[in-house]
Structure 1
Amino acid sequence: MRQYRAMVAVGDSFTEGMCDDTLPDGQFRGWADRVAAVLAAEAGADGFRYANLAVRGKLIGQIRDEQVDLAAATDADLVTLAGGLNDVLRPGCDIAEVERQLGACTRALLAGDRTVVLFTSTDPTRRMAGSRRLLPAILRMKAFVEGVVRDHPDRVVLVDLFSAPVFDDRRLWAEDRLHLSPEGHRRVALAVLEALGRPAAEDWRAPLAEPDPRTRAQRARADARWLGTHVGPWIGRRLRGRSSGDGRPAKRPELLPYEG
């Protein structure tokens, strides 16, 4: 099991960590922060450094231009890369271009003696109305990422979220159904640590212990609230050519000592 001394996380809101709970400084505590905390505890007195360059709303081309070169220029021995889903969500997405950009990002990050972590997307079709149109692109992205991992079996590790039905449970998602809840981030952190060879403290794929207590009427009201509160504003930003990440800096832009 490789011991890591420095981690850089790149991507969009998934990696930034957007969820329903925050740290005392107002930042989100996502799966990458949780993974860094575990690796920092392992490093102990030797010290561990962590940067999180991810910014919500970023497309894969923006991730490449704004984050990947910065990450590749560090001496981090672990880099996580998740991106492309914001592109897929947009009508008329050029999936071949997304694959090209994602491949270029991976090649740049593989320079040097480091491990790169890639992800497959969760399957949104059983938790988010109207998402079935996205499935062909998501499946194509899944196959592409799996191919990258096969081409670099000693350098790239895969976190396969698509094959985990537990992510069909809406309690693993925030109210907007695009971002993980605290429990969702906790599960992804466990999945990343398992992919990195850490002993499993629990089965992150296991269903939640208690069934969803909401009635059908409560779920219907939640659907209506979701459409008005989250889908409408998202469409409005797309029409105006705006992003939730416009002008927003990375929450942890430098590779600095981290104690968790």
Structure 2
Amino acid sequence: MGDSFTEGIGDPEPHSPGGHRGWADRLAEELSRDRDDFRYANLAIRGRLLTQILAEQLEPALALKPDLISISAGGNDLIRPGSDPDALAEKLDAAVGAMSAAGATVLLFNGPDIRDTPVLGMVRGRVAIYNENLRTVAARHDAVIADMWSLRALTNPQMWSADRLHFAPLGHHTIAIMALDALNVPHQLLPQRPEPLPTQKWQAARAEDLVWAREYLVPWVLRRLRHQSSGDGISPKRPTPGPVFGPGMPGGAGA
């Protein structure tokens, strides 16, 4: 359950449903190893706010009677002016309680430390408050915290996609490892070292910033002003449970 983060935006894979892979697909690929009866659904849709995620995805998720539910929600709310991290956590608390009461293990993602990230860095304080609230929610319902705030590797620019708002394939891979470790699941994923970044003159860096602002930041701001979402008209990429095949796995792309 979730938004663009769980949908896998920033990690393009033409052979995956919806054209994106992401940390959740990568995690499911590992969970499915040597399990013929494994089934995976992904209900996340980019751009969704917390209330939308709960209204649209919670009931369908519970109807699947899952053993494990992951939820990352609230990030799109926190970047909006006037958002209240305490109120958001209260809404999420009730939903996590319903998931836990249904017998599912809940994997609850907090937000990464976005101190050095353009645009997102301005809401770092709200993210920190929200994260502390999520720890309380997790403790109350015996949920597992996937702690992105403590994942220092995510401060590397190569973990982020060109839009600087979503994670790149390396970021999704790194997050999948962290989530599997949080669940105490043995896996075959190995940490990948990003290539050293070339030294840039300040003129080149500013030119890149201008291109980024024109291609990504301005459209993002315009959507907010027009009350539009990148997820308008988008459906879940895996609405029903099914087997998952990743690149290099039997039956998957590259196999």
TM-score in terms of structure 1 length: 0.87
Percent identity reads 37
* Structure 1 stretch displaced more, 51-60 or 90-99: 90-99
Q: Secondary structure at the match of 2:32?
A: helix
Partner of 1:64: 54
Say if 2:158 is the partner of 1:166. no
CA contact (8 A) 2:158 2:194 kept: no
Q: Which of 96, 101, 110 does residue 100 from structure 2 map onto?
A: 110
Match of 2:55, as an amino acid? D
Say if 2:21 is the partner of 1:34. no
For structure 2, list consecutive stretches of 5 or more residues without a partner in the other structure: 247-255
Q: Secondary structure at the match of 1:41?
A: coil
Query: What is the CA-CA distance between 1:95 and the residue it aligns to?
Result: 2.5
Query: What is the CA-CA distance between 1:256 and the residue it aligns to?
Result: 2.3
Partner of 2:224: 238
Q: Which of 48, 67, 72 does residue 82 from structure 1 map onto?
A: 72
Query: What is the CA-CA distance between 1:201 and the residue it aligns to?
Result: 5.1
- Separation in 2 of the partners of 1:94 and 1:138? 10
The one-character-per-residue Cα deviations of 1:60-104 (angstroms, maximum 9, x if unpaired) are 000000001111121210100001010011112132331122112
Q: Secondary structure at the match of 2:46?
A: coil
Query: What is the CA-CA distance between 1:30 and the residue it aligns to?
Result: 0.5
Q: 1:77 to 1:142 in 2, by over 3 A?
A: same
1:161-240 map, 5 Å: 161-199=148-186, 204=191, 208=193, 210-217=195-202, 218-240=204-226
- Separation in 1 of the partners of 2:117 and 2:85? 23
Query: What is the CA-CA distance between 1:202 and the residue it aligns to?
Result: 6.6
* Greater per-residue strand proportion: 1
Query: What is the CA-CA distance between 1:57 and the residue it aligns to?
Result: 0.1
CA contact (8 A) 1:51 1:254 kept: yes
Query: What is the CA-CA distance between 1:214 and the residue it aligns to?
Result: 4.2
Query: What is the CA-CA distance between 1:123 and the residue it aligns to?
Result: 1.3
Match of 1:192, as an amino acid? A
Match of 1:211, as an amino acid? P
- Separation in 1 of the partners of 2:86 and 2:117? 26
Partner of 1:48: 38
1:79-158 map, 5 Å: 79-128=69-118, 130-153=119-142, 156-158=143-145
Q: CA RMSD, aligned part only? A: 1.9
CA contact (8 A) 2:30 2:187 kept: no
For structure 1, list consecutive stretches of 5 or more residues without a partner in the other structure: 1-9
Aligned residues between the structures? 244
Query: What is the CA-CA distance between 1:210 and the residue it aligns to?
Result: 3.8
Partner of 2:251: none
- Separation in 2 of the partners of 1:20 and 1:259? 16
Partner of 2:249: none
Match of 1:215, as an amino acid? Q
Runs of 4+ in 1 over 4 A off after TM superposition: 200-204
Q: Secondary structure at the match of 1:194?
A: helix
Partner of 1:251: 237
- Separation in 1 of the partners of 2:90 and 2:239? 26
The one-character-per-residue Cα deviations of 1:220-253 (angstroms, maximum 9, x if unpaired) are 2222211111110011011111000012100111
